[in-house]
Chains A and B, each alone.
Chain A
Amino acid sequence: MTDPIRDLWASQPIAPLRLSPEELGRRARHLDRRVRRRNALEYGAGAIPILVFGAMAIAPVEPLMRLAAVVIVLGVLVVVCGIHRRAGASRAEDWAAPILDHHRAQLVRQRDALGSVWRWYLAPLVPGLVLLFASVWRNVHDTAGASAATARIIPPVLIAAIVFAGIHWLNRVAARRLTRAIAALDRRS
């Protein structure tokens, strides 16, 4: 017995793509070049703070400021490595996995990346920032006293805390949404 809807579906006027293996190879290499360029741009963004704080680390500044610059550079390197590791996991996707398994693996990977943003994206920058604020506080303290130093340091500390907390909170909300999506997927399979 024929199914009119299936017949309708099969009757679509389409012209399937015809690609030779040579053409696919060429397109694959083109795609790889684009991915490498995009990655270079992303890592290039990390190079800016490395250059700025790297220059500060070798400049004639006081030792605490120099230490802060070195620790910030190390923190940025840890963040860039984290981005690189997660991009690698994304490229290693098993496209031939059953659809639900593949979809679930994608959601889990995204959930884990978002849920751990504090650990791999924010925390590595905290020690350097704390040292930087301490260095600024001490410099002001030496010239204007403790009250002036504290007044000077509170606004940037507050701004940094709010920005970090905001990034953490937004990512946790997104991770929780993905956890619910994973649970819904598990219930139906």
Chain B
Amino acid sequence: MSRDNPPSEAPRDRLYTEAAEAFGPALARLARAVERDPERARDLEQDIHLALWRSLDGFAGDCALATWTYRVAHNVAASHAARGARTAPFVGLDAIAEFPAPDDPERAAGTAQALDRLRALIARLTPADRSVILLYLEGLDARQIGEITGLTTNYVGVKVHRIKALLSRRFTPGDQP
């Protein structure tokens, strides 16, 4: 019998439905942040869902479903990003401060443009920094981010502090409508 049709299919399906319901929007945002091409972002989102569904066979409740879901999603996304990282190497959060501002400040005034800039910034980050910033943007605290990434809470705290400073510098409230 195929691994994808085990007799005890129901628990995996129930967990997947629960996870997709709760975190589907976050998974879609993650895919859009990592892959800028909309069609490929949709493919990546599908890969994430598939990996999540398959992985849930091994879910024993040792961590929260949210932690499990974010780990699988970010690991799949990081692998996807690594495959496309040949031409533009990743940089650390500290180097992002050097990025140029948009040529036309007025064009940056809309939500869509602000989101584009934010996604462009995120796409350049190293996998660890990218995950921290994305999980922060999803509203998670330092302890949760530490559990998902494997970084210490203190380290995440420092990173989140830098992220807040960076984002407040780069994305002022005036950037939004």
Contacts and interface: CB of A to CB of B under 8 A. Distances in A.
Interface string A94-107: 01111111110010
Given A95-B55, A99-B71, A99-B127, A18 B24 contact: yes
B115 A8 contact: yes
Interface residues of B, number: 59
Contact of B148 (A8, A21, A32, A98): A98
A31 interface: yes
A104 to B, nearest CB: 9
A24 B50 contact: yes
Contacts of A166: none
Interface stretch (A9-17, A57-65, A128-136): A9-17
A87 to B, nearest CB: 15
A188 B146 CA distance: 13
Nearest to B137: A9
Given A9-B29, A97-B75, A98-B150, A31 B50 contact: yes
Given A15-B28, A103-B78, A25 B150 contact: no
Give the size range of A's interface with the partner. 35 or more
B56 to A, nearest CB: 9
B91 interface: no
B42 A17 contact: yes
A161 to B, nearest CB: 30
B53 A21 contact: yes
A8 B177 CA distance: 10
Contact of A99 (B4, B5, B78, B136): B78
A17 B115 CA distance: 20
Given A29-B4, A189-B150, A8 B171 contact: yes
B4 A28 contact: yes
A41 interface: no
B9 interface: yes
B25 A16 contact: yes
A19 interface: yes
A102 B77 CA distance: 12
Interface string A145-189: 000000000000000000000000000000000000000010011
Given A18-B24, A96-B72, 6 more contacts: A9-B118, A11-B111, A12-B32, A17-B42, A21-B13, A32-B4
What 3 A-B pairs come out closest when comparing CB atoms? A98-B150, A16-B24, A100-B150
13 contacts: A12-B29, A14-B25, A16-B20, A24-B16, A32-B4, A95-B55, A95-B75, A95-B76, A97-B150, A100-B149, A102-B78, A106-B79, A189-B151
Interface of A: 4-6, 8-12, 14-19, 21, 24-25, 27-29, 31-32, 93, 95-103, 106, 185, 188-189
